[in-house]
């Protein structure tokens, strides 16, 4: 499964999905899928968006081209805000909590959090933080 984070307005999503490939401005997230990002959402929002709510939001695409085709998922706005406004110390704490204290600077959890934070920090007022999810290596 390939997951990419990207910013877009809701009206741009159909055009992006029609293209059939991840948006060129997207950032790849390695070793994650929408389901395991739910716990990260709960962590970065300090529980204001719980695992169950985040899981439902991230498991259900806002747009898809079919069962085996790419789909687009929306990261909850509270999580995008927290990530975009975070500092290095917060992100380090989130990585430690998300990885159970087993995160290392060069592994997946830290890269995922850093990538999401970078994308979220450049978000405009009308943009959502979306995930492009497609089958494949």
Residue 66: per-residue pLDDT: 78
- pLDDT tens for the chain, 137 residues long, are 899 999 999 999 999 888 888 999 999 998 888 888 999 999 999 999 989 999 998 999 999 987 778 999 999 999 999 999 999 999 999 999 998 866 555 568 889 999 999 999 999 999 999 999 998 65
pTM of the model: 0.90
CA dihedral angle for residue 61, residue 6, residue 133, residue 33, rounded to 10 degrees = -90
Domain ranges of the chain: 2-134
Helices (H), 1-137: 13-19, 34-44, 51-59, 77-84, 88-98, 108-121
């Amino acid at each position: 499964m390939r997951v990419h984070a990207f910013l877009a307005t809701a009206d741009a999503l159909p055009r992006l999905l029609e293209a059939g490939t991840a948006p060129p401005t997207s950032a790849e997230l390695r070793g994650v899928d929408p389901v395991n990002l739910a716990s990260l959402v709960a962590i970065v929002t300090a529980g204001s968006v719980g695992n169950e709510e985040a899981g439902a939001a991230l498991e259900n695409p806002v747009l898809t081209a079919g069962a085996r085709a790419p789909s687009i998922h929306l990261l909850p706005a509270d999580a995008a805000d927290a990530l975009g406004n975070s500092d290095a110390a917060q992100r380090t704490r989130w990585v430690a909590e998300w990885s159970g204290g087993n995160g290392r600077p060069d592994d997946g959890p830290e890269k995922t959090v850093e990538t999401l934070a970078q994308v979220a920090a450049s978000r405009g007022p009308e943009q959502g933080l979306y995930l492009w999810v497609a089958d494949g290596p």
